[in-house]
Amino acid sequence: MITISAFEWVPDFARGQVRDLRPRWALEEAGIPYRTRLLAQGEQNKPEYRALQPFGQVPIFEEDGFALFETGAIVLHIAERSEALLPKEPQARARATQWVVAALNSIEPFLMQVALIDLFYKDEEWAKLRRPGAVEFARGRLKGLAAALGDKPYLDGDRFTVGDLMMSSVLRILPDLTREHANLSAYVERCTARPAFQRALTAQLGDFKQAA
């Protein structure tokens, strides 16, 4: 049985955003059962956990003595098992992987800069000076993404792939900026309306309620 590590508590603003949601979603799309390993506060800093996740983050994927960290690596590992996430045709597989990497490298860091300023540093003078530039850069990245998506339902056309799973997860970080592009807003709604996403989200929120 696959085990995904997750926090048993996070602040309200983070619920529904913690990154264990991504492998949960991938597993739901692939129809693969899993269970969660809920971490109490501080447990992520214990040596036995750090031996598996050197940065003390979630999630970790564990199965039969094999452990993997980083959501991109985990989701791609899951996708290898399911044509629902990763097409068999080599070039289509490469394009799906391309969009996973783009989500994590070309979009997420710049959305997270703005999100961190707004959540943790908005009253700091340096943050007030930095925010306009961070927002403008994020907008530039979203403009490029919106152009690449165009009027297609998904990034590679008519078919949902692991690239869409990761990209739509990332776009949920700053919905206000995403909504500046009608096609990106509709894209996120389309992806997150999928039953597999709804099951994953319900499971994550349910774990928080159970641990409360």
CATH code of residue 151: 1.20.1050.10
pLDDT tens digits, 39-98: 999 999 999 999 999 999 999 999 999 999 999 999 999 999 999 999 999 999 999 999
Q: Which two tokens stand for residue 157?
A: 């056309």
127 and 162 housed in the same domain: yes
180 and 96 housed in the same domain: yes
51 and 104 housed in the same domain: no
Alpha helix (H) ranges present in 106-194? 108-116, 125-149, 162-171, 175-178, 182-192
Give the domain extent around 206.
2-84+196-211
101 and 69 housed in the same domain: no
60 and 120 housed in the same domain: no
Phi, psi of 60 (to 5 degrees): -115, 140
Place 7 in a pLDDT band, splitting at 50, 70 and 90: very high
User: How distant, in Å, are the alpha carbons of 52, 102, 199 from that of 110?
Assistant: 27, 12, 28
26 and 113 housed in the same domain: no
User: How distant, in Å, are the alpha carbons of 8, 30, 41, 130, 142 from that of 74?
Assistant: 20, 13, 23, 33, 25
pTM of the model: 0.95
121 and 37 housed in the same domain: no
As a whole-number percent, the residues of the chain with pLDDT over 90 amount to 98
94 and 146 housed in the same domain: yes
Alpha carbons 20 and 7: distance in angstroms, whole number: 9
> What total number of domains does the chain contain?
2
